[in-house]
Structures are given as structure tokens and as C-alpha cells.
């Protein structure tokens, strides 16, 4: 086997491609940043320039300001960065999310960014890539994380909403504002009642609609929204919004949270939730194993979450795997 | 088993009492008698003894899941619950529809015989059980075989649901659940018998409850109109002696007679037809032992001689509600106390004690007595109106608890680790330190006291300010200051700080204080003025 050139190195500022002169999802402001997707823990403000998919560019501008300069690259399109061929490929995580593929002198490296392999009507499906070196996430890198099908979960959500609506109660569903909320919107049975979304979700949903994703109509929820309007409605809000002023009119609501963490009963109980729905935009254990196997990578670097455990597991299987020092990584915000 | 698993899932899912009662009622309405009896015994905490050592279960589960044991351990660390960890790790259930096997068959034919089998046969039986079950069944089953079957329902709720289902008074049901019985159809029939004469004799009175005295006692009027006694830190209980039998009821209206055989034996010497109100305490050499000791004892399944010797229980009586078969509740407290004193001077003894009446000429003198409370191992004073009748529930005005303020210091957060079970993905368990010169000396671990929002905030701080990791524990930058309250403090050579505090909890965050303004070890030690409780029996 020939030695593998490192097209990626880990620096204080994050993953660096020295030959190409850019960083992927840097942690600190750098000159040139390639951004896998628009979640906050992957988009550092203050970089000289950004490269991302057109959808990610729209989402970044909606979140960080319209003046942000983002150069766009479509899925599968290739550019040359100082002799490194760079292309972006669907990661299936959220709208616009991409894996970064780098190639130089026949060596291929892939950074998956956050990804999932489950069906999601709101974004392009994950594309498996072959490579020599793979940098993968491991937010849910333990075998206890095994997702039910998204269809089964959205059906559960609809059933819960329907039952609450029949009792005249609002259904407050906590979900991350970018990605998860829209995936739920696309999946629920919108005929049950009106759908309201929190102010942090509405602008993201607008971008999804502009990108041609068909979603049921939603209305913004505000402090002024009356109890009567909310009875029987589904209200989507980011987890951080719990307890803010407008939730007053939701005192009687049934409260639920949609997240991969809901797989663990303790998480649901601690938040005193009425329901926990296991719905994640990250790969579960089997999807992680499948992805590494299909890549045929000879070297695997692991970021986020359970990096140490997953690296040890692969090493025992004879693979050159390594956990990237998690201490410096931003903690996942969108599980 | 499916029906029982659904009941477990329903109880586990909801926090609402009404929903729990509904789930219980639905289950009891539909379950066959033998199943219902088994479910009932599990619900009220009569768990079968763990049939298989935990280490074996872990090994078999890891094998079945095809993962190494260290990875199983990592999963357990994250999930925080063994039965649930195994459930998540087992290979997906097979969809083949086997014959539905009732709970009673699973218990009687599979679970109970497990104990006597050689390891290999145990393994086969457990793996076969897992294969035959869906995921919900596996969770309930794993809870049973790991000995961890617990649901957040009190015996009272179960009794209420049962009573509704059987059409029998709740008190009768509670009484029939006492003693030794084997789950099965015969027991179920006895439980539902319509004639309740058997149960009437046991019934306690509703407890009279006290209010906390927030301000000074002067507003209560002259001290001479009040009876003062120590506020005991034990288990509130009524001792019912009727029809030649003894019943001990805790305030949760649970029968705890069997938990306190020495009290039951002593009460057999009381004349028939009397009911005493008081407190169960762990007691040695004329003073109460730590409440924790009593709590430990209640948690024990087997009351061995050792357990009884470590925490001998007494009944500290302070009121008499019935005597000679006559109810006394309408009489004045002063008269009831006199009758109680007379009764106990004749029939009391080292296990049936009379809570002493404290005599002091005025409120300042009583306040001075109250200051001694900590040293005596009590929580403060009770003051009760001498001419009051025995009230029902929390009627305001006649019974007051005048507790000591808890001890507290301002301390710095130094270590954090994820919660177990409750919350394995958030940093919720904290260690706090006081200053000692330049150093920070850890002295207390505390878990409770913060709101969910505060916990999430601290969790973020911990993640962003980790300086070192030791397994799951993170050392953090000493920056956050909290007020830590505790009930008592004693010297302890085992602790680095030289002191041990009891029931530490987070009183509040002190964002206004910097770590340099936290309290010192010297300040903490100055709280040690109270004499130490007697050492434990070994
Ligand atoms: Zn993400
Ligand atoms: Zn991420």
C-alpha cells in the first residue's frame, strides 16, 4: 500500500488543506473557508471568503446577514484550488449540506461534515463517496443509537398532535430551527390543524420554500397570539425558546422534543416532557459503519461526539482510525 | 407480556398523576387475574430477587449485539440504565408472531426458575426470551431481571386504581396487600372480596399537618398558650392498636408495619383500641441517628439482625387520637397529651417514647432552646396551640414548625460530571470547593437545586471551560460561585476538607460573586460548633 498523503491537517483553527490554501468549517476566522452547511457550529463569522452550495449560501445570508460574501458551488461541480480539485456532494443533513471532496495527485479525501442517510424530503440524499482518507462525524457514534424510520416518527408526531387537538390542547414541539423543523413540517399531516412557528424558524422555512421545497403553510407565533388560536395547533419552537414570554399562552400545551437524544429515556424525563420523538439529522451507528465501509478509506478521522469510542472500535477492526481532539471542537448544537 | 410492557411504557412516559391512574385502571380492567396479581406485586415494589448476576447479563447482551464489552460499558455510561442499555443494543426484533405468552407464564416458568439454573442454561433462557420479545417487552423484562423495576407511582396510586377496579374500599385493599402473599388467582380473589370487616380495624386518622413559621413567634400571642417540643426529623406515622393487632401507617398512608418489627412488638403491649400519632426515628443512646440511616433501612428488603442493630427504630409519640376505643380528636391538645403521658408511663418503654414537652417561660427562652436543635439532631421546634383540637390536613393556625435555617456557604464549582440515568448527556452533578489560601478544597457534591434553564447554562459553561478530564469527570475553570446549603456538618478525617456535610444542595447561583469572594475552609469549619452525632455501630 502506498503511503497516504494528508490532504487535511488539524490546526488550532480547525481542518486545514495546506495545499489548497483553505479551511473546512474553521473554528476561528481564516482567509478562506469552505462551509459544509449553515448550522452555527460550522459557520464561523469573520472569514475573508466563503465557499458553499447555493442553498447553504442562502441560509447563511438569512442567518448571518445579506452582505456576507459567499462563493457558490453546485453539488458535483469541481473547482481547482492551487492544484487541489475540490467538489461538494450531498450530505443529507439539511438543505444545502455537503460533503467536501478533495483530490490531488490521485489521492482523495472526503470530509463528511454532519450527515445522515435516512430519507428526508427537504434535502438531497446522501451520496456515498470512495476515498483514501475520510473525516467523519460521530455525534451519535454508539450502538445504542439506532433510528426508527422517519415515516414512523412523523406518524407518531401526527398522532400525538391529533390527540391533543381533539382535546383542544396546543402541541408544542421543540425542534432545531434549521433543518429539523422543516423536516417535521414536510412530514406531518397538515390537515389536523394550523401550524405556528417561532421567530427563529420562520426565516429558515422561507429559504426552504424559495429553494423549491414544498411545505405546508405556517404562521409566526408571537406573544400576542391568543390562547384560542393556539388550541389544537402545532407550535414549532427551538429548544432554547422554552420558557420565553410567548410560551405563556401555551401553559396547557402538551410538550415534546424531536431529537436523536430522545432515544435515551433519561433525557426525556429530565426535561419533564410529555413526549420525546427520536428524530435526528445525524447518522446513527449503523449508518456510520456503513459509510466508513463504503468509502473504503484507509485512514479515518473522527470528529464530534463519540470520537474516541468509534475510533477504538475501528482500530480493533484493523482500520487506521483516529479521534480528532474533541476538546477544541465546537459542541454539536443541532443533534 | 405485551399488555404489561404497554403499561410500563405508559407509566414511564407520563409525569401526570391522572394519566398514570388511567393507565393502571386500563391495565387492571383488561389483564387476566394471574397477570394482574404479578403486575400488582411489581408495582408496589415487591421485585423478584435478581435472578442472574448483572455481569452475566452485560456479557450476554454484548455478545448478542456483537460488540466488545468496553463498548457496552461506554453505552451504559451514556444511557445510565442497564435494562435500557441492553434493550437498545439487542439486535432488532424478529417480526415473526409467536404465541402470546402472558406475564404470569414469563414470570413463573422463565424468570423464577432462572436462579437455580447453571450459567449456560441461564444464558440460553435469557437469550431465548430476548428473541421472543419486541422492544417494549424487552425493556420491561430487562427491568425485571436486572432487579431495577421501578415506576414513578406510589403505592397509594396503585391502591386507588385497584380499589376502583375491584369496587372495594382503598383502605381495605391497602390492608390486604400487607403481609406475605403469592401472586396468583387466589390472591386476586381475596383482594377483591366485598366484605371489608377485616380492613376496618386498621384504619388510621387523617394526619394533622403543620405550617412553617416564617416570622418570629411573637405574633402567636403569649407563649404560655402554646406547647413546644422538638421537631423530629423522622417518618411521620400513626400507630394503630385495634382488635388485638398493630398497624403502623406512614403519612403517605402506606402500611409500614413490617418495616418496623420492633415498634410493632412494643405496640403489642398497648391496651386495645388506641391510636398514637408520632414520628419513627432511628435512635441510639438517647438521641436520633441521621435521617439517612433510617432511609437506608427502609430501602432494605431483608431486615437482617445487622440492619436492625445499625438503625434501631423507636416511635416518638406526641399525640393520642383514640383511647379505649373512643376518638379523642375533638379534645384539647393539653388533655390528649395528659392522656398520652399516662398511657405511655404504663405501657411505654425504650421503643415507645413520649416526645418531651419543652418548658420555657417565654418566646426568647424558647428561641434559645431552638438554637440547641442542631446539636440534638432535630430540625428545630414544633409549637402547637394547647387548646386546639386535632385538625385535619394542613389547617392553618394551630400547628407550626419553627425550623432552624439551613447552614450555607458560598462555594466555587470545580468539577462536573454527567448525570446518570436522568440525564446522561448533560453535566448535572457538581463538586464545590471552598478557598484555603490560594487553594480550592472540594467539600460537597450537589445535584439538585437548579432550574432546567440554569442546568443548561452551567452545562454550556462546563463544556466551554474544561481544563482537564478524568473519565466522565471534567475539571472546570473555577469561575462560578453558588450558595450551597446543607442540614448539618461534622468533622470527617475521610474527607480532604476535614468535614462532611449532610444533604448539600444548591441554594442559588451567585453571579454577583467572584471566586475570590467565596467562603474559606476556616469559615466552613467554624460551623462545626454542633457536637458530632454518635458513631455508627459496626
Ligand atoms: Zn449540523
Ligand atoms: Zn455539527
Tens-place pLDDT, residues A11-34: 888 899 999 999 999 988 999 999
For B67, the closest of A143, A145, A272 (CB atoms) is A143
For residues A22 and A98, state if they share a domain. yes
Q: How many CA atoms lie within 13 A of A81 on its CB side?
A: 22
- B476 by DSSP, 3-state: which? strand
Burial class (CB in 10 A: 0-12, 13-18, 19+), A8: buried
Range list for CATH 2.40.50.140 in chain B: 407-529
Domain membership flag for residue A333: no
Burial class (CB in 10 A: 0-12, 13-18, 19+), B201: middle
Are A91 and A98 in contact by the 8 Å Cβ rule? The answer is yes
pLDDT at A303: 87
In the set B231, B259, B306, B403, the catalytic residue is B231
CB contact under 8 A, A270 and B453: no
B452 at A interface, C-beta within 8 A: yes
For A55, the domain range is 2-144+281-324
For residues A26 and A91, state if they share a domain. yes
Domain membership flag for residue A334: no
DSSP-derived letter for residue B271 is: P
The highest-level CATH class for domain B208-403 is alpha beta
The neighbouring-strand residues paired with A303 are A137
Q: Looking at residues A53-60, what average pLDDT do you find?
A: 97
For residues A304 and A231, state if they share a domain. no
Q: Which residues contact B187 (CB under 8 A, 6 or more apart)?
A: B37, B181
Pick the residue from chain A with its C-alpha nearest to B81.
A266
Q: Which residues contact A224 (CB under 8 A, 6 or more apart)?
A: none
Lowest mean pLDDT: which of A193-207, A222-236, B56-70?
Answer: A222-236
| Strand ranges inside A122-187, DSSP E | 133-137, 171-174
What number does CATH give the domain B2-145? 1.10.3260.10
Ligand nearest to the CA of A97: 1
B231 noted as active-site residue: yes
Q: Summarize pLDDT for B117-160 with one digit per residue, the tens.
A: 999 999 999 999 999 998 899 999 999 999 888 887 877 788 88
Residue A331 grid coordinates: 459542541
Q: Which residues contact B57 (CB under 8 A, 6 or more apart)?
A: B82, B86, B126, B142, B145, B146
Are B517 and B412 in contact by the 8 Å Cβ rule? The answer is no
Domain membership flag for residue A331: no
Residue A49 reports pLDDT greater than 70: yes
Are A277 and A260 in contact by the 8 Å Cβ rule? The answer is no
For residues A287 and A301, state if they share a domain. yes
For residues A71 and A89, state if they share a domain. yes
Buried b / exposed e over A70-79, threshold 16 CB at 10 Å, is bebbebeeee
Are A141 and A306 in contact by the 8 Å Cβ rule? The answer is yes
Range list for CATH 1.10.3260.10 in chain B: 2-145
Buried b / exposed e over A252-291, threshold 16 CB at 10 Å, is ebbbbbbbbbbbbbbbbbbbebbbbbbbbbbbbbebbbeb
Q: Looking at residues A94-123, what average pLDDT do you find?
A: 96
Domain count of the fold of chain A = 2
ipTM of the complex: 0.92
Q: Give the CA angle between residues B104, B106, B109 to the nearest 5°.
A: 90
pLDDT at B189: 84
pLDDT at B534: 35
Residue B268 grid coordinates: 403489642
Give residue A332's pLDDT band: very low, low, confident or very high (50, 70, 90).
very low
Q: Which chain A residues have any C-beta within 8 angstroms of a chain B C-beta?
A: 142-146, 242-243, 261, 263-267, 269-272, 274-275, 306, 309, 312-313, 316, 327, 331
pLDDT at B449: 73
CB contact under 8 A, B68 and A274: no
User: What is the Cα–Cα distance from A55 to A43, expressed in whole angstroms?
Assistant: 14
Q: Summarize pLDDT for A261-289 with one digit per residue, the tens.
A: 999 988 877 677 888 999 999 999 999 99
For residues A158 and A79, state if they share a domain. no
Query: At A201, which CATH number?
Result: 3.40.50.10890
Q: Tell me how close the Cα of B273 comes to any Cα of chain A, in angstroms.
A: 46
CB contact under 8 A, A264 and B424: yes
Which residue from B333, B445, B395, B69 is spatially nearest to B208, judged by alpha carbons?
B395
pLDDT at B373: 85
For A144, the closest of B78, B423, B463 (CB atoms) is B78
Residue A241 grid coordinates: 425558546
CB contact under 8 A, A309 and B71: yes
Among B8, B17, B64, B75, the strongest candidate for a mutation testing the A interface, having the largest count of A CBs within 10 A, is B75
For residues A191 and A122, state if they share a domain. no
pLDDT at B180: 62
Report the 10 Å Cβ neighbour count for B118. Answer: 7
What number does CATH give the domain B407-529? 2.40.50.140
Which residue from A86, A83, A15 is spatially nearest to A53, judged by alpha carbons?
A86
B429 at A interface, C-beta within 8 A: no
Domain membership flag for residue A330: no
pLDDT at A283: 97
pLDDT at A331: 45
For residues A227 and A262, state if they share a domain. yes
Mean pLDDT by 10 residues, chain B (538 residues): 92 80 90 92 83 93 95 91 94 72 93 92 94 92 90 81 84 72 83 72 82 84 93 93 90 81 94 96 90 80 85 96 92 96 93 93 90 84 93 77 84 86 73 91 85 84 83 86 86 84 85 86 77 34
User: What is the Cα–Cα distance from B10 to B2, expressed in whole angstroms?
Assistant: 12
pLDDT at B424: 65
Are A140 and A280 in contact by the 8 Å Cβ rule? The answer is yes
For residues A140 and A82, state if they share a domain. yes
Residue A327 reports pLDDT greater than 50: no
Domain membership flag for residue A116: yes
User: What is the Cα–Cα distance from B294 to B312, expressed in whole angstroms?
Assistant: 9
Amino acid at each position: 500500500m502506498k503511503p497516504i498523503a494528508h490532504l487535511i491537517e488539524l490546526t488550532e483553527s480547525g481542518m486545514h488543506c495546506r495545499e489548497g490554501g483553505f479551511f473546512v468549517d474553521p473554528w476561528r476566522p481564516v482567509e478562506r473557508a469552505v462551509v459544509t452547511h449553515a448550522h452555527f457550529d460550522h459557520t464561523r463569522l469573520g472569514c475573508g471568503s466563503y465557499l458553499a452550495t447555493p442553498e447553504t449560501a442562502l441560509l447563511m445570508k438569512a442567518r448571518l446577514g445579506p452582505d456576507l460574501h459567499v462563493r457558490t458551488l453546485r453539488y458535483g461541480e469541481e473547482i481547482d484550488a492551487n492544484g487541489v480539485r475540490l467538489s461538494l456532494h450531498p450530505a443529507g443533513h439539511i438543505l444545502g449540506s455537503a460533503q467536501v471532496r478533495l483530490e490531488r495527485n490521485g489521492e482523495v479525501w472526503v470530509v463528511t461534515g454532519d450527515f445522515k442517510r435516512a430519507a428526508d424530503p427537504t434535502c438531497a440524499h446522501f451520496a456515498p463517496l470512495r476515498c483514501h482518507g475520510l473525516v467523519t462525524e460521530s455525534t451519535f457514534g454508539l450502538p445504542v443509537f439506532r433510528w426508527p424510520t422517519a415515516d414512523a416518527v412523523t406518524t407518531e408526531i401526527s398522532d400525538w398532535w391529533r390527540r391533543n387537538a381533539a382535546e383542544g390542547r396546543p402541541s408544542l414541539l421543540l425542534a432545531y430551527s434549521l433543518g429539523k423543523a422543516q423536516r417535521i413540517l414536510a412530514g406531518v399531516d397538515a390537515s389536523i390543524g394550523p401550524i405556528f412557528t417561532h421567530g427563529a424558524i420562520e426565516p429558515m422555512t422561507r429559504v426552504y420554500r424559495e429553494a423549491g421545497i414544498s411545505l405546508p403553510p405556517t404562521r409566526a407565533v408571537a406573544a400576542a397570539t391568543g390562547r384560542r388560536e393556539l388550541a389544537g395547533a402545532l407550535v414549532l419552537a427551538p429548544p432554547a425558546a422554552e420558557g420565553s414570554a410567548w410560551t405563556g399562552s401555551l401553559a396547557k400545551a402538551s410538550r415534546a422534543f424531536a431529537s436523536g437524544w430522545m432515544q435515551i429515556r433519561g433525557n426525556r424525563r429530565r426535561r419533564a416532557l410529555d413526549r420525546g420523538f427520536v428524530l435526528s439529522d445525524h447518522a446513527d451507528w449503523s449508518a456510520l459503519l456503513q459509510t466508513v465501509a463504503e468509502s473504503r478509506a484507509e485512514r479515518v478521522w473522527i470528529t464530534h461526539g463519540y470520537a474516541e469510542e468509534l475510533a477504538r472500535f475501528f482500530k480493533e477492526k484493523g482500520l487506521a482510525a483516529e479521534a480528532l481532539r474533541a476538546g477544541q471542537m465546537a459542541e454539536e448544537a443541532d443533534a | 407480556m405485551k399488555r404489561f410492557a404497554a403499561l410500563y411504557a405508559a407509566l414511564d412516559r407520563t409525569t401526570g398523576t391522572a394519566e398514570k391512574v388511567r393507565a393502571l385502571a386500563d391495565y387492571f380492567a383488561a389483564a387476566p387475574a394471574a397477570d394482574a396479581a404479578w403486575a400488582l406485586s411489581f408495582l408496589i415494589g415487591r421485585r423478584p430477587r435478581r435472578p442472574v448476576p448483572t455481569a452475566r447479563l452485560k456479557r450476554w447482551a454484548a455478545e448478542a449485539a456483537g460488540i466488545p464489552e468496553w463498548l457496552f460499558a461506554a453505552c451504559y455510561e451514556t444511557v445510565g440504565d442497564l435494562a435500557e442499555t441492553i434493550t437498545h443494543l439487542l439486535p432488532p426484533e424478529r417480526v415473526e408472531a409467536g404465541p402470546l405468552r402472558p406475564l404470569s407464564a414469563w414470570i413463573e416458568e422463565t424468570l423464577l426458575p432462572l436462579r437455580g439454573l447453571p450459567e449456560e442454561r441461564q444464558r440460553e433462557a435469557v437469550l431465548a426470551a430476548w428473541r421472543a420479545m419486541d422492544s417494549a417487552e424487552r425493556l420491561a423484562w430487562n427491568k425485571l431481571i436486572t432487579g431495577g423495576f421501578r415506576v414513578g407511582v406510589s403505592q397509594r396510586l396503585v391502591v386507588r386504581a385497584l380499589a376502583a377496579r375491584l369496587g372495594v374500599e382503598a383502605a381495605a385493599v391497602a390492608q390486604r396487600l400487607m403481609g406475605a402473599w403469592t401472586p396468583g388467582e387466589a390472591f386476586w380473589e381475596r383482594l377483591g372480596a366485598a366484605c371489608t370487616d377485616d380492613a376496618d380495624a386498621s384504619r388510621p386518622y387523617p394526619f394533622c399537618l403543620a405550617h412553617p413559621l416564617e416570622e418570629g413567634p411573637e405574633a402567636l400571642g403569649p407563649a404560655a398558650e402554646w406547647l413546644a417540643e422538638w421537631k423530629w426529623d423522622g417518618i411521620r406515622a400513626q400507630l394503630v392498636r385495634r382488635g388485638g393487632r398493630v398497624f403502623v401507617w406512614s403519612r403517605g398512608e402506606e402500611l409500614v408495619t413490617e418495616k418496623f418489627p420492633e415498634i410493632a412488638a412494643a405496640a403489642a403491649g398497648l391496651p386495645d383500641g388506641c391510636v398514637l400519632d408520632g414520628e419513627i426515628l432511628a435512635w441510639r443512646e438517647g438521641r436520633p441517628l441521621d435521617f439517612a440511616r433510617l432511609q437506608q433501612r427502609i430501602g432494605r428488603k431483608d431486615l437482617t439482625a445487622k440492619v436492625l442493630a445499625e438503625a434501631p427504630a423507636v416511635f416518638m409519640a406526641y399525640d393520642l387520637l383514640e383511647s379505649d376505643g373512643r376518638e379523642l380528636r375533638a379534645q384539647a391538645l393539653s388533655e390528649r397529651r395528659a392522656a398520652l403521658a399516662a398511657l405511655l408511663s404504663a405501657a411505654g418503654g425504650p421503643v415507645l417514647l413520649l416526645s418531651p414537652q419543652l418548658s420555657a417561660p417565654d418566646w426568647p427562652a424558647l428561641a434559645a432552646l431552638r438554637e440547641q436543635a442542631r446539636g440534638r439532631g432535630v430540625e428545630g421546634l414544633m409549637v402547637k396551640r394547647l387548646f386546639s383540637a386535632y385538625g385535619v390536613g394542613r389547617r392553618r393556625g394551630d400547628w407550626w414548625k419553627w425550623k432552624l435555617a439551613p447552614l450555607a456557604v458560598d462555594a466555587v464549582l470545580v468539577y462536573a460530571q454527567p448525570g446518570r440515568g436522568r440525564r446522561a448527556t448533560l453535566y448535572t452533578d457538581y463538586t464545590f470547593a471552598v478557598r484555603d489560601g490560594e487553594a480550592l478544597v472540594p467539600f460537597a457534591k450537589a445535584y439538585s437545586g437548579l432550574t432546567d434553564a440554569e442546568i443548561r447554562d452551567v452545562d454550556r459553561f462546563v463544556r466551554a471551560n474544561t481544563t482537564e478530564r478524568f473519565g466522565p469527570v471534567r475539571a472546570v475553570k473555577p469561575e462560578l460561585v453558588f450558595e450551597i446549603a446543607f442540614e448539618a456538618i461534622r468533622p470527617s478525617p475521610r474527607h480532604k476538607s476535614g468535614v462532611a456535610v449532610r444533604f448539600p444542595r444548591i441554594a442559588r447561583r451567585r453571579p454577583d460573586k467572584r471566586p475570590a469572594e467565596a467562603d474559606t475552609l476556616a469559615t466552613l469549619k467554624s460551623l462545626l460548633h454542633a457536637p458530632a452525632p454518635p458513631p455508627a455501630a459496626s
